Structure 1
Amino acid sequence: MRIHPIYFLRVTGLLDGASLLVLLGIAMPLKYVWGLDKAVTIVGSIHGGIFCLYALAILYAFIRVKWSLLWPAAAVAAAFVPFANFVLDWQLKKNQDRLEIKPFNHALLVYSIVFFSFFDLFSQLPVMSTFAVSVGASSFIVGFVIGLYSMANTLGNIISGIITDKSGPFKILLAGLFLSSIALLLYRLVDEPAMLIVVRIFHGLVAGLIVPAAFTFSANTTKKDQQGKKVAFTGSFVGLAAIIGPAFSGIMASRTSVPFVFTSVAILGLILTVLAAIFFRTFQIPKREKPGESAELAGSIFNSGVRKAYAGAFFLMFSQGAIAYLLPLHVQALGYDSRLSGTLMSTFGIIAVLIFALPTNRIFDRVAPTRTMAIGIGLMGLSQLLISQSSTMLTLYLVLGLYGVGFAFLFPSTNTLLIQSTPVELRGKAYGYFYAVFSLGVVAGSSILGWLPFSINQGFLCTGIVLLAFSAFVVLGKQKQRVLDA
């Protein structure tokens, strides 16, 4: 028998109301009258934990129940007023049978998991170097532990893809969420470089399990004529993580500590683990295509469409690595404050998120993915060339906006092309390799340009030429295929 979401809200609400009365009526007098400080510490901690459960119950009811917004607003307000929870429970009990339960939107949970995975990644960027130094790491070890995460992540992506095809995305997704949360909590135990290296390997490996399984789940539960739009909308959560993650960790680390930042992210991961365990446990892998329905795709996941998708993913992240490496140096060389680099990167992220989330995302279902891929990689290549020639703040913002448009076109195109080029039974493995290529692209973009004897402007020019060459290759390959088909 299914338990009504209001039941959970009522139980946690009564516990919250009772613990508030104990805190105010017993613990606080014990502290301020009799000097027993531990009374408030103990009862306050218990009340805080119950309040967290109560907040989650409000959120769960908000998602699942068809009701007025006044109900969740009243539930939040009741937590801060003595005896209000009991009055609310009386009203909820009277109305529980009238409040209809909405079907759960699995896509919303998938979006949240994708956000968590990339939020975990981007929240590390501003603080990992300083954290490594704080535990005694040398400059070599600092660079090593940062790159080590990406390498371990690559292996995790591949493992995730293989297991997803064998047993479905649910188990590996659940394992990735739980183990990533545990890995984030382990940073509290790090007090020397050797321990940091071990935690980074474990963190990168288990975090790599999440994204291929999440995108496979999303692809396998989406109608064919909506795949491009769905991927674009999913990309908006990646963009939001890229915007919010660094800002969150930078601000929180300056006010608290790096382990506290990672603990906060871990709590989000554990909440999503519980929600995934509840709502994904009944997920069934779609039936495989009947023999002959996907003959072109079933032979190998490395067909021409998949190879183009992998190449697109690699050059997308190669370009990102180049931007991350060269843009701060270029801004500094022009005499601007280093904060400008962050706002420029936020600009391209905001532009991309808008294209992902607004009705513009329909283009990815109406235009062939190879065409939007060529447009996206071409715009990114052009923007790299223009950055090298930009010397004013206005032109830098305009060029990074153009880069954001290119990014927004390329990311959904590569994903859509991958989905269209792989059958359901091989999609997990295909996504595993896809995101492994993603990780390698970032490393290649920054490291190759760092090794080559290029100036900053030459680095941008080289990257732009490479991206434009790949765009031309995609266009020419499409024209050649048309000739062969004719």
Structure 2
Amino acid sequence: MTETAPPAATPQFTPVTDRPWAALISLCVGFFMILVDMSIVAVAQPHIMAALHADVNSIVWVSSAYLLTYAVPLLIAGRLGDKFGPKLIYQIGLVVFTLASLWCGLSGSITMLIIARAVQGVGAALITPQTMALISRMFPPEKRGAAMGIWGTVAGVATLVGPLLGGVLTDSFGWEWIFFINLPVGLIGLVMAQMLVPTVETHDHKFDWIGVILSGIGLAALVFGIQEGQTYDWALWVWLLIFGGGAVMGLFVLWEAKTTTEPLVPLGLFRDRNFSLSSVGIATMGFAVSGMMIPLMFFLQLVGGMSPTRSALMMVPMAVLTGICAPIVGWILDKVHPRNVVSVGLGLYAVATLLAALWLHPDTPVWKLLIPVSLMGLASAGIWAPLAATATRNLPWQVAGAGAGVYNTTRVIGAVIGTAAIGALMMTRLARELPGIDVDHAEGSVAAQLPAPIRPGFADAMGQSIYLAAAVLFVGAIATLFLARPSHQTGPSGAPAEKSPVK
């Protein structure tokens, strides 16, 4: 197999700070807050549905609105970081996200909450690409795997803290506090960023506003059509909206290919095989993880009768194993072929997801469900940080912001489509498994266990919707089998580089 060369020669690395690890920890505060917020909301969904008198579809929109406004600005947020400095844009993103969290907690209706979550998504979009771009500026290529290992550890800890904190806050104080908790975290993040994150050299950019508009319209049409299809009985206009959204996304790609100035998505990035395949892999992971959290939490609470805190405790093995294994995997990644880590991780996560779907039944013992959850934790350590490090390792610093923006956009696009698709499949299966029953208003269904006759059908619908996540993950595992060995591991001819003597 012929190894592809990077799109451009990587300039000699120049350190931008003498405290890169302290700066990394500072950046992880904002990243941590975003991940915690996503997992907190998943745990509290049944209680939000009860408190705001919402239906299941509206609750899905609480996640989809956030992900949609997260995905579209990501493309331009990376460029904003390149132009005005990633530190400044990161701090602006923290401010937007923190204030939007306050708005979420004060929302008195499901519509207001959805709007506030959409603003939160904009803040998250400003934060995310700056963290990856700054890592590529602060750490030389041979140390980025270890740095991304820390990044992955933060993801694991956030996965643990988010559900647990969400469960405790929801049970003790109410669902509003899952958002209020972001206020002190955001303030701490701002202070740490000001003190520790370096100000780096900027690179001027022009902004492709036509690309922003086309991508926004295309994604919004796709997500709305997919998610609202069951609500409108898959009417003809719904299908036209879905196909129209796909056509607009096609126009977006054509526009990017023909733009002579600076496209929103530099298609030249995809000449690097690892960037392209890593983007496919992270899109499948975003699709599966974000989409399956909704049916899983509804199963644990409405079928299993668990409180938010107890359902959150079910995620502890996954988070602990990810947090323990991520730094080890990051260290290993700098020395082995990335496909040996990433493809195995995605394949293992697919198997674990399939097992979870098969075992979602009212009479399944808790210990049995902990098996796939634990496997997901092991698999995650080989996916999040290794994919990010592999995607960006060969990119020149001049396009680091754009590369990080495109990479994270593929992840969030996968997440928003996954949430919409699995949510739509969930509603379709509920209509099939429980015909004539209004689950949204069934006695005992709001933030409490469903009546016994409804539980088997509801559980089957939740499990069937998760099969889609497993199938998509298998696609990612196959795609990442074709990752190339990164340039720092190869000699001039593309052969594996000789190992340096141990000092």
Q: TM-score, normalised by structure 1?
A: 0.67
Counterpart among 128, 132, 145 of residue 211 in structure 1: 128
The answer on 1:235 being equivalent to 2:152 is yes
Q: CA deviation at 1:354?
A: 0.8
Aligned to 2:43, the other structure's residue is in SS state coil
Select which of 309, 312, 317 maps to 1:347.
317
User: Which residue pairs with 2:432 in the alignment?
Assistant: none
Quickly say closer, same or farther: Cα 1:264–1:327, change in 2 above 3 A. Answer: closer
Aligned to 2:352: 383
Number of aligned residue pairs: give it: 371
Q: Aligned pair in 2 of structure 1 residues 284, 409: CA closer, same or farther (>3 Å)?
A: same
Distance 1:207 1:467, change over 3 A: closer
Cα distance in 2 between the residues matched to 1:181 and 1:351: 29
User: What is the match of residue 417 of structure 1?
Assistant: 390
Preserved CA contact (<8 Å) 2:167 2:307: no
Q: Residue in 2 aligned with 1:160?
A: 77
- In structure 1, what residue type is equivalent to 2:378? V
Q: What residue number does 1:223 align with? A: 140
> Between Structure 1 and Structure 2, whose CA radius of gyration is higher?
1
Residue by residue, what CA displacement relative to the aligned partner does 1:22-75 show, whole Å, maximum 9, x if unpaired?
A: xxxxxxxxxxxxxxxxxxxxxxxxxxxxxxxxxxxxxxxxxxxxxxxxxxxxxx
Moved more, 153-162 or 387-396: 387-396
Letter of the structure 2 residue corresponding to residue 300 of structure 1: G
Unmatched segments (≥5 aa) in structure 1: 1-101, 289-297
Counterpart of 2:65 in structure 1 is 148
What is the Cα-based RMSD across aligned positions, in Å? 3.5
> What displacement does 1:230 show?
1.1
State the shift of 1:405 in Å.
1.3
**Residues 344-389 of structure 1, C-alpha deviation per residue, up to 9 Å, x if partnerless?**
32211211111014x4531121112233111111111222333345
* 1:137 Cα deviation from its structure 2 partner: 4.9
Moved more, 302-311 or 386-395: 386-395
Contact 1:145 1:197 in 2 (8 A): yes
- The AA in structure 2 aligned to 1:302 is F
Q: 1:174 to 1:378 in 2, by over 3 A?
A: same
**Which amino acid is the alignment partner of residue 268 of structure 2?**
S
- Give matches, 1:248-327, under 5 Å: 248-280=165-197, 282-285=198-201, 300-303=268-271, 304-327=273-296
Could you tell me how far 1:392 is from its partner in structure 2?
4.7
Give the alignment of 1:430-469 within 5 angstroms: 430-452=403-425, 458-469=464-475
How far did residue 210 of structure 1 move? 0.8
Query: CA separation of 1:256/1:325 partners in 2, compared to 1, >3 Å: closer, same or farther?
Result: closer
Specify the alignment match of 1:428 in structure 2.
401
Deviation at 1:465, TM superposition (A): 4.1
C-alpha distance in 2 between matches for 1:239 and 1:228: 16
Tell whether the 8 Å contact from 1:226 to 1:365 is kept in structure 2 after alignment: yes
Asked if the contact 2:280–2:479 (Cα under 8 Å) also holds between the matched residues in 1, the reply is: no
Q: Report if the CA contact (8 A) 2:274-2:483 is conserved.
A: no
The letter for the 2-side match of 1:150 is L
Cα distance, 1:307–1:246 mapped onto 2, change above 3 Å: same
- Partner AA of 2:317 in structure 1: T
Q: Are residues 447 and 214 of structure 1, via their aligned partners in 2, closer, same or farther at CA, if it must alter by over 3 Å? A: same
CA contact (8 A) 1:321 1:444 kept: no
Per-residue deviation at 1:215? 2.0
Q: Which amino acid aligns with 2:340?
A: R
More helix by share: 1
Q: How much does 1:173 deviate?
A: 0.5
1:383–1:400 Cα contact (<8 Å) kept: yes
Instruction: Quote how far apart the aligned CAs of 1:463 are.
Output: 3.8
Residues in 1 aligned to 2:464 and 2:418: alpha-carbon distance in whole angstroms: 14
Matching of residues 33-52 of structure 1 within 5 Å: none
Change (3 A) 1:360 1:302: closer
Show CA shifts across 1:241-283 (max 9, x none).
1211222233224333444443331122022212322333x52
Q: Secondary structure at 1:110's aligned position in 2?
A: helix
Give yes or no for contact 1:328–1:338 (8 Å, CA) kept in 2: no
1:324 and 1:302, CA in 2 relative to 1: closer, same or farther beyond 3 A?
A: same
Q: Displacement of 1:221 after TM fit?
A: 0.5
* 3-state SS, counterpart of residue 270 of structure 2: coil
1:16 maps to what in 2?
Answer: none
Change over 3 Å in CA distance of 1:181–1:464 after alignment to 2: closer
Deviation at 1:337, TM superposition (A): 4.9
**Structure 2 portions without partners, runs of 5+:** 1-18, 205-265, 430-459, 496-503
Letter in 2 for 1:377: L
Retained in 1: the 8 A contact 2:20–2:138? no
Report 1:323-334 matches (<5 A).
323-328=292-297
Aligned residue among 330, 335, 339 for 1:370: 339
Q: CA deviation at 1:224?
A: 1.4
SS at match of 1:367: coil
Is residue 2:370 matched to residue 1:397?
Answer: yes
Tell me which of 373, 380, 392 is aligned to 1:407. Answer: 380
Instruction: Say if 1:313 and 1:411, in contact at 8 Å, map to a contact too.
Output: yes
Q: 1:157 to 1:254 in 2, by over 3 A?
A: same
State, as a whole percentage, how many aligned pairs show the same letter: 20
* CA deviation string 1:431-470 (max 9, x = no partner): 2222222223233334324444665555555543443343
Distance in 2 (CA, whole Å) between partners of 1:423 and 1:159 is 18
Please name the residue that 2:219 is paired with.
Answer: none
Alpha-carbon distance, 1:478 to partner: 5.4
> Would you say the 8 A contact 2:278–2:480 is kept in 1?
no
- Alpha-carbon distance change, 137 to 387 in structure 1, aligned in 2, over 3 angstroms: closer
Amino acid at match of 2:404: Y
Distance 1:365 1:449 in 2: 35
Report the alpha carbon displacement of residue 170 of structure 1 after superposing the two structures with TM.
Answer: 0.9
Question: Higher relative contact order by CA 8 Å / sep ≥ 6: 1 or 2?
Answer: 2
Q: Distance in 2 between matches of 1:325 and 1:406?
A: 20
Q: 1:308 to 1:333 in 2, by over 3 A?
A: same
